[in-house]
């Protein structure tokens, strides 16, 4: 059984993924940027929680120190924390919006990965799952048959495209690990303004599958609930 850390585990897809992974016997550590939301979620799940704002170096360092007091290795890191950003008329999309969205969705994932990498390297089966999005897929955005091709959300879409590329880069640089990107698909959570058609169970299929890969599992892939996706 694995020790699994999931960022933004206090609600939405992160909470559901934690619940499902706990139910099959893994040891879960959720993170929350808000201590009270984290405490309540962890109490409901029955797991440990760490306070962590992924946009803040000191906060991630403190969370790492806290984690080290609980365990000396980590098997699975799920970079789930993310924000949608505003959907605005393109004329008002500015660098500040992109900086805000990238701060969480891209730089946050890199910050947490770098901090926890030494602990992952102590695992016999280190795994990273980056929760990306089909909205950030060039394949889906250019296929008129997909819902994602109808979405114009430059900050969010480009942040997830960047996270997917980072997944591929880390996978190539760290071939001893299984490092993959997951697309939950449009799911009914606060992060999707409660507009997604899918349940959180469907939305966590790919995350749970990729978090539970064995040493022979794939790395450097992008997957949704049905399997492989085009980048
Ligand atoms: N729902 C969908 O349709 C969908 C589709 C594709 C991809 N995704 C991705 O799936 C992931 C989870 O989304 P969700 O739908 O479950 O959204 P959600 O319900 O809004 O949950 C997002 C989680 O991320 C946390 N978070 C946000 N900013 C953070 C920060 N700076 N530091 C630490 N934690 C932070 C939130 O904390 P607070 O509770 O404090 O805000 C919350 O726990 C995201 O990466 C999202 O982009 C979602």
Tens of pLDDT along 70-115? Answer: 999 999 999 999 999 988 899 999 999 999 999 999 999 999 999 9
Q: Which of 28, 87, 31, 20 has its CA nearest to residue 54?
A: 31
Number of H helices and E strands in the chain, helices first, is 9, 8
Select from 7, 13, 194 the residue to mutate for testing ligand 1; criterion: most ligand atoms less than 8 Å from CB. 13
The residue written with tokens 């390297």 in the block is 121
DSSP string, 15-30: HHHHHHHHHTT-EEEE
Predicted TM-score of the model (pTM): 0.98
Select from 5, 6, 7, 12 the residue to mutate for testing ligand 1; criterion: most ligand atoms less than 8 Å from CB. 12
Q: Percentage of residues in the chain with pLDDT exceeding 90? A: 94
Whether residue 195 is predicted with pLDDT greater than 90 in this model: the reply is no
- At residue 189, the pLDDT reads 87
> Which pLDDT band holds residue 206 (cuts at 50, 70, 90)?
very high
List, for residues 150-182, the tens digit of each pLDDT value.
999 999 999 999 999 999 999 999 999 999 999
Q: Looking at ligand 1, which residue's alpha carbon is closest to its atom 7?
A: 133
In this structure, what token pair is assigned to residue 144?
């008129």
Helix, strand, coil share (%) of the chain residues, nearest 5: 50, 15, 35
List, for residues 9-51, the tens digit of each pLDDT value.
999 999 999 999 999 999 999 999 999 999 999 999 999 999 9
Question: What does the pLDDT average to over 178-198?
Answer: 90
The ligand 1 site (C-beta within 6 Å) comprises 7-8, 10-14, 33-34, 37, 52-55, 80-83, 104, 108, 131, 133, 184, 186-187, 189-192, 196
Q: Reduced to 3 states, what is the DSSP secondary structure of residue 37?
A: helix
């Amino acid at each position: 059984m694995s020790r699994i850390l999931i960022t933004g585990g206090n609600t939405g897809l992160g909470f559901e993924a934690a619940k499902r992974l706990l139910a099959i016997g893994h040891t879960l550590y959720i993170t929350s940027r808000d201590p009270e939301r984290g405490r309540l979620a962890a109490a409901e799940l029955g797991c440990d929680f760490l306070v962590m704002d992924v946009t803040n170096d000191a906060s991630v360092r403190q969370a790492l120190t806290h984690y080290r007091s609980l365990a000396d290795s980590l098997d699975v890191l799920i970079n789930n924390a993310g924000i949608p950003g505003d959907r605005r008329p393109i004329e008002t999309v500015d660098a500040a919006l992109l900086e805000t969205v990238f701060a969480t969705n891209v730089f946050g994932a890199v910050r947490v990965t770098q901090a926890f990498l030494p602990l992952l390297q102590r695992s016999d089966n280190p795994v990273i799952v980056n929760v990306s999005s089909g909205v950030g897929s060039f394949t889906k955005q250019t296929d008129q048959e997909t819902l994602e091709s109808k979405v114009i959300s430059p900050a969010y879409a480009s942040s997830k495209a960047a996270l997917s590329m980072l997944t591929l880069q880390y996978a190539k640089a760290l071939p001893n690990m299984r490092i993959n990107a997951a697309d939950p698909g449009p799911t009914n959570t606060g992060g999707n303004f409660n507009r997604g058609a899918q349940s959180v169970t469907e939305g966590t299929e790919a995350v749970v599958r990729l978090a539970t890969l064995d040493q022979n599992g794939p790395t450097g892939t992008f997957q949704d609930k049905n399997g492989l996706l085009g980048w």
